[in-house]
Amino acid sequence: MLMSTFEIPATDYTPHVFEDSKTGVIWFKGEAYPENASAYFQPIMEWIRSRIAEKQPLKLAFSLDYLNTSSTKALLDLLAILEIYHQQGGKVSVIWYYPCDLEVMKETGEELLHDFSLPRLLEPVGRLT
Amino acid sequence: MKAHPGTSSASRVVLEIRGPVTQAQIAAATARLITSLVAPRQLKHLLKTIFVEMAQNVLKHSQNTSAIPATISITDTGDSFTIHSRNAASPAAARQVAEIVSDTDQLSRTGLVRIRRTELHKPRQSGCAGIGLIEIRRKTASPVACSISPLSADESLVEITATLRKQACS
């Protein structure tokens, strides 16, 4: 998989964030409970803002095993930026992947996207273990 | 910090963390606990949710100068898990926690979802455990117990206990 220059490696409690330069999809994979979610997501927000300033189409894919409330709040801030871009005519789409045996993560995705009109898809995935 | 992963039908502490701790230590302990538990994935995920939310509070209070270290533990009582945290806080912060617990105690699931959404869309406030407590109340579907004990004019002891019933998640 080809990566762009923007990439934040995963830790045990933060996700792997990267753009797949082949598909253009911006991925969030793994765990999301940083000690300071606001600080953690700040560079990601700045990067997304720069992409919006360039009027780039944005495809975001979330494949998170877990996220805490602080990260949920940070993602809502991110989605709010995307919502404005979408309403201004920007091309944005969001895919929320959730384990097929973990209904709670589907619910999390539904709740996150509830207040937004962004094109979205909630997609179950099988266990990879 | 010490961790005792494992389950049995007898009531026993399966994990205990005592401050000061780091986020990496919390993550490592959580991973060990979840890996070792023999339980449905949904139950493990809910336990992780509650533990991590409460552990963030322990982490926050790990730097306190209080003589009382922040602690969090999980006890397997057979038919449920009891998650208990204890930390010193300012009297104002302690009152705030007690008020949130009291305010959310009688709310239905719909009411909890609504208040959580409202809180999530508010501007960030530092030092407030509000949304985390709402989340714990919602995920456990059980009342959260809160005990406040004054230690001095500047400090109170805050104890929070959440109960996650195993049957509700199976």
User: For B24, which of A12, A72, A76 is closest by C-beta distance?
Assistant: A12
ipTM above 0.95, yes or no: no
| C-beta of residue B151 within 8 angstroms of C-beta of residue B157 | yes
Question: Cα–Cα distance between B40 and B57 in angstroms, integer?
Answer: 27
- Nearest in space to B55 (alpha carbons), one of B14, B75, B26, B86: B26
Q: What is the value of pTM for the model shown?
A: 0.87
Question: Cα–Cα distance between A65 and A108 in angstroms, integer?
Answer: 11
Question: Cα–Cα distance between B113 and B124 in angstroms, integer?
Answer: 19
- The answer to whether residue A1 scores a pLDDT higher than 50 is no
**Distance (Å) from the C-alpha of residue B134 to the closest C-alpha of chain A?**
10
Contact B113 A111 (CB under 8 A): yes
Type of residue found at A1 = M
| C-beta of residue A121 within 8 angstroms of C-beta of residue A95 | yes
Q: Which residues contact B41 (CB under 8 A, 6 or more apart)?
A: A99, A101, A102
Q: What are chain B's domains?
A: 12-169 (3.30.565.10)
Contact A104 B24 (CB under 8 A): no
Per-residue model confidence (pLDDT) at position B170: 53
Cβ pairs bridging A and B (under 8 Å): 59
Dihedral sign (CA B132, B135, B140, B141) = positive
Per-residue model confidence (pLDDT) at position B62: 65
- Nearest in space to B53 (alpha carbons), one of B153, B156, B144: B144
Per-residue model confidence (pLDDT) at position B6: 46
Place of tokens 């996650």: B164
- pLDDT above 70 covers a percentage of chain B that reads 86
Chain B residue with the nearest C-alpha to that of A75: B120
**Distance (Å) from the C-alpha of residue B42 to the closest C-alpha of chain A?**
6
Q: For the segment B37-88, what is each residue's pLDDT rounded down to a tens digit?
A: 988 999 999 999 999 999 887 777 766 666 788 899 999 999 999 999 999 8
- B2 lies within 8 A of chain A by CB: no
- H or E stretch covering B24: helix B23-36
> What number is the average pLDDT over the span A116-120?
97
Question: Cα–Cα distance between A93 and A82 in angstroms, integer?
Answer: 9
Per-residue model confidence (pLDDT) at position A65: 94
What is the DSSP secondary structure assignment for residue A75, as one 8-state letter? H
- B168 lies within 8 A of chain A by CB: no
Q: For the segment B5-25, what is each residue's pLDDT rounded down to a tens digit?
A: 444 457 999 999 888 888 998
| C-beta of residue B62 within 8 angstroms of C-beta of residue B86 | no
- B48 lies within 8 A of chain A by CB: yes
Per-residue model confidence (pLDDT) at position A41: 97
Per-residue model confidence (pLDDT) at position A4: 56
- B132 lies within 8 A of chain A by CB: yes
Q: For the segment B123-132, what is each residue's pLDDT rounded down to a tens digit?
A: 766 545 588 8
